[in-house]
């Protein structure tokens, strides 16, 4: 058994969903590899989180009947009710997984299923073939549950929720560049206030040759206006792209083109689509020098 298989079984152990054979294999591997114990701890924590998140569900009426039969000492009635619950639940699972309960009985991997044709579907004696198919589906479903539980364990161990994963996968190029800049050993930043209100922070990395500006609280623009970024290098002024601020929060904008240490990053308000002349048509709202 490898470590990945052990992690899957650990998830099933935390959910009390291991078959007897899997439970024995799990315990043998657990004793042979004490260094894998963290998988068991992670699975237990995840199972507790899943239990806290799960809504309360009332039990089916058949459970009450089984309990009453057990209390009254009617063992036969209790067994009958329990069998009805198991068969109906498993048959429903067959129908959900393979289309219909009738077609799912024909499972060539189970010897009992191969004998399904020897029984009349309308006869109670068809139960052994159905029971065999149910056992096959149960084994498949249990393995799938363990893999799913292991996936939950991995997500929780990494500190990701579904929303976090979506946010990570849907990052803009500017957000990706910001993350790379912040992780660079030569990352630097300067914050300045814009003349018409708002705060602008320039972040850059000379080794990456990239820079971004993070803005917050900038003045509102009309429909025919945009903010345009500029890079001033010596006497040369080059457009570095336009952007519109995100409503009610920070906006990250990536400087287009090349960036070098010592450049000055400026920002101005321009007509929609950017300056028609290729040069600023209004006074800059902010100018940040990257000499530091």
Position with higher pLDDT, 68 vs 42: 42
- Give the chain's mean pLDDT: 74
Helix-, strand-, coil-residue percentages of the chain, each rounded to 5: 50, 20, 30
Does 40 have pLDDT greater than 90? no
Please report, to the nearest 10 degrees, the dihedral formed by the alpha carbons of residues 187, 193, 195, 197 taken in order.
Answer: 120
CB 268 within 8 A of CB 237: no
Position with higher pLDDT, 71 vs 240: 240
Full-model pTM? 0.46
Position with higher pLDDT, 268 vs 93: 268
pLDDT band (50, 70, 90) for residue 168: low
For the ranges 100-104, 119-123, 139-143, 185-189, the maximum mean pLDDT occurs at: 185-189
Cα–Cα dist 99/134, whole Å: 14
Residue 10's pLDDT is 82
- Cβ neighbours of 38 (radius 10 Å): 11
Cα–Cα dist 215/273, whole Å: 20
Residue 104's pLDDT is 39
Cα–Cα dist 77/66, whole Å: 8
pLDDT band (50, 70, 90) for residue 150: low
pLDDT band (50, 70, 90) for residue 206: very high
Does 9 have pLDDT greater than 90? no
Position with higher pLDDT, 21 vs 154: 21
Using one digit for the tens of pLDDT, what is the confidence trace for 223-267? 999 999 999 999 999 999 999 988 777 899 999 998 999 999 999
Domain residue spans in the chain? 3-57+105-157, 173-289
Average pLDDT, stretch 124-135?
A: 48
Fold for domain 173-289? Immunoglobulin-like (2.60.40)
């Amino acid at each position: 058994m490898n470590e990945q298989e052990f992690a899957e079984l650990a998830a099933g152990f935390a959910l009390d969903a291991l078959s007897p054979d899997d439970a024995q294999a799990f315990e043998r591997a657990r004793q042979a590899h004490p260094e894998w114990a963290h998988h068991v701890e992670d699975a237990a924590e995840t199972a507790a989180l899943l239990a806290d998140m799960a809504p309360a569900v009332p039990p089916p009426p058949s459970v009450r009947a089984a309990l009453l039969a057990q209390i009254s000492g009617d063992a036969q009635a209790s067994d009958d009710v329990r069998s009805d619950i198991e068969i109906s639940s498993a048959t429903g699972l067959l129908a959900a997984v393979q289309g219909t309960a009738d077609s799912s009985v024909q499972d060539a991997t189970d010897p009992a299923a191969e004998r399904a044709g020897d029984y009349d579907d309308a006869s109670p004696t068809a139960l052994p073939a159905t029971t065999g198919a149910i056992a096959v589906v149960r084994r498949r479903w249990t393995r799938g549950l363990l893999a799913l539980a292991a996936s939950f364990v991995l997500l929780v161990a990494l500190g990701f929720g579904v929303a976090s994963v979506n946010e990570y996968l849907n990052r803009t190029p500017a957000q990706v560049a910001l993350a790379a800049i912040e992780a660079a050993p030569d990352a630097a930043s300067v914050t300045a206030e814009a003349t018409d209100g708002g705060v602008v922070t320039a972040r850059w990395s000379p080794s990456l040759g990239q820079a971004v500006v993070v803005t917050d609280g900038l003045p509102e623009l009309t429909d025919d206006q945009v903010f345009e970024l500029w890079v001033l290098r010596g006497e040369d002024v080059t457009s570095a792209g336009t952007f519109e601020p995100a409503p009610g929060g920070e906006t990250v904008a990536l400087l287009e083109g090349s960036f070098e240490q010592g450049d000055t990053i400026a920002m101005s308000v321009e007509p929609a689509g950017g300056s028609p002349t290729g040069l600023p048509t209004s006074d800059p709202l902010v100018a940040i020098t990257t000499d530091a």
